[in-house]
Structure 1
Amino acid sequence: LVDHLCPRFGIETTVVDGRDNDAWEKAIKANTKVFFFETPANPTMDIVDVKHVCALAKAHGITSVVDNAFATAVLQRPMDFGADVVAYSATKLMDGQGRVLAGAVCGSEKFINDVLLPFQRNTGPNLSPFNAWVVLKGLETLDLRARRQSENALAVGKAIEGRVARMLHPGLASHPQHNLAMSQMEACGPIFSFVLDGGREQAMGLLNALELVDISNNIGDSRSLCCHPASTTHYGVSPEARADMGVVEGMLRINIGLEDPRDVIADLDQALTKVGL
């Protein structure tokens, strides 16, 4: 997107380490119009200081846009911390059952009327009525699902943390940004990642050993799902860029669903044992 598509429309982009508050200010240029970031970040689970970055944006007349798909408004409300616009992949936790491709953009009434609606009218990226209805039905249970899946994910993360080389769950005290995460989130959602020392071979071995957890690159589903980001979601990114992001070959990302967490833990336990962990 930023390397190929944006330049065709005269859009210049600067990539920063979202965790580094100073980096945001240093990256501001005379033509900077938007700060765009995702927190927690996929799949590294890095946390951005929403309040600080959005305040910096406002001080420089810059619009702040937050991708809040991992948490949804149930667990994190970026506008409460100063965000101008919040974007969602409604395909994920909002739907909750992997049924539709959908998205949502939230902002002020002025933004919706002056920016979003004219763009949609002229370019046509609108949901079909049926897909919109499916997402609306998902919203009816979103609060219950988001909170229960967060609890389940925390339980699973705690259970396997000692078996893996690195655990990436902001709800656990071992995460370097745990305190920041808990200051701006009610809970950390159903998704986390972990790293195995054995690289791609060991990661693939674990995936193939899973019995209850499905292999899929979707997230937010009511079923537990696991994937290998380097060969799926981030396959199109150069190895050098993946390394810079921290998306290593031994990383697996998991979405914990609504199953009894003891069943998920048992499945991961036997899979980890089969790959020598």
Structure 2
Amino acid sequence: VVAARAAFGSCRWLTDTLLPKFGIETTTIDSRDNAQWEAAIRPNTKVFFFETPANPTMDIVDMAFVCGLAKAHGITTVVDNAFSTSALQRPMDFGADVVAYSATKMMDGQGRVLAGAVAASNAFMDEKLLPFQRNTGPNLSPFNAWVVLKGLETLDLRIRRQSENAMAVGKFMEKRVPIMLHPGLASHPQHDLAMRQMAACGPIFSFVLDGGRSQAMALLNALKLIDISNNIGDSRSLLTHPASTTHHSVGPEARAAMGVSEGMLRINIGLEDPQDLIEDLDQALQAVGL
């Protein structure tokens, strides 16, 4: 496996800890650098895996290049599209073979269920996924499936409104924090690539404070409207500290290598009035001296 270095903490646990127990090796790379994808290919490489945007660094992968490279070498490309869903980004249009979703997030949209979804060709489903499901049992309950289906009815409306809110809040935050990571903003180093691949840049972005963990925690504790939670995709705005939540299982050195610092915070912008969110963040920033 060749995998993006910047990824959700549980994905890194799978590639770094679980897969080696089954004799599966993973090479992690800086997914923003196309040359590293090509350099990492070995004769036994079977899978490319990445998130775009990446959680929580918001790195963008050039899907057309990476998927094209994979096909040229007979490699299967697996894309985690949880941050965008197919409402904003369609990896298969760029050549991806398998697309994974956390339906817990945007698809549900209200934090009600734990669920996942996989999109792939009929052949992949029939030959690989369905036999695995049938014999190991990772199947969603009928009720939870119904909840996700109800969430999908409003997905397009929700995610586009949340994306608009995130742009408004992001423009405010860009003026107040040392490092801003929102691919929808022109200041993001991969903004042009994001705009080529995405209909909108979604409700999630990250930012970094110079004061490290203590300043980040102080800001979290100063919030009045925005909730503290490591979930994303909810219709409520949520803020989390990745180094101590989503990426706590990743060692300090690995976190530093992927760009997850102690001062990083990741926010999911919800459906609230964006001005209310700006005012809450403004008073919290003032409380920590920003």
Bin for the TM-score computed over the shorter chain: over 0.9
Residue 42 (structure 1) aligns with: 55
Q: Which runs of 5+ in 1 are unaligned?
A: none
The corresponding residue for 2:31 is: 18
Q: How far 1:224 moved relative to its partner?
A: 0.2
Q: Secondary structure at the match of 2:239?
A: strand
| DSSP-derived class of the 1:35 partner | strand
Question: Deviation digits for residues 73-127 of structure 1, max 9, x if unmatched?
Answer: 0000000111111000000011000000000000011111111101111111111
Q: Which residue of 1 aligns with 2:137?
A: 124
> Which of these residues, 186, 208, 218, is aligned with residue 231 of structure 2?
218
Q: Quick one: distance in 1 between partners of 2:173 and 2:24?
A: 43
Q: Structure 2 CA distance, aligned partners of 1:210 and 1:134?
A: 30
* Counterpart position of 1:160: 173
* 2:164 match: 151
Alignment correspondent of 2:211 = 198
Pair 1:60 & 2:73 matched = yes
Q: Give the match's secondary structure for 2:189.
A: coil
Q: Which residue of 99, 106, 110 corresponds with 1:86? A: 99
Corresponding residue to 1:249 among 258, 262, 272: 262
Residue from 103, 113, 123 that aligns with 1:110: 123
Whichever residue aligns with residue 33 of structure 2, its letter is D
The residue identity in structure 1 corresponding to 2:105 is: K
Residue of 84, 92, 100 corresponding to 1:71: 84
Length-normalised TM-score, structure 2: 0.95
Question: Is 2:249 the partner of 1:270?
Answer: no
CA distance in 1, matches of 2:183, 2:232: 17
**Pairwise CA distance, 1:8:** 1.4
SS in 1 for 2:78: strand
* C-alpha separation in 2, matches of 1:2 and 1:107: 21
Whole-Å separation in 2 of the counterparts to 1:198 and 1:139: 40
Shift of 1:3: 2.2
How many Å separate the matches in 2 of 1:43 and 1:166? 13
Matched, 1:259 2:272: yes
Q: What's the offset of the Cα at 1:190?
A: 0.4
Q: Confirm or deny that 1:98 pairs with 2:111.
A: yes
Query: 2 CA distance for matches of 1:125 and 1:117?
Result: 10
Q: What is the alpha-carbon distance in structure 1 between the residues aligned to residue 66 and residue 91 of structure 2?
A: 11
RMSD: 0.6
Give the aligned residue type for 1:274.
A
The one-letter code matched in structure 1 to 2:173 is I
Q: In the alignment, residue 98 of structure 2 is paired with which amino acid?
A: V
TM-score (structure 1 length as normaliser): 0.99
**Secondary structure, aligned partner of 1:270:** helix
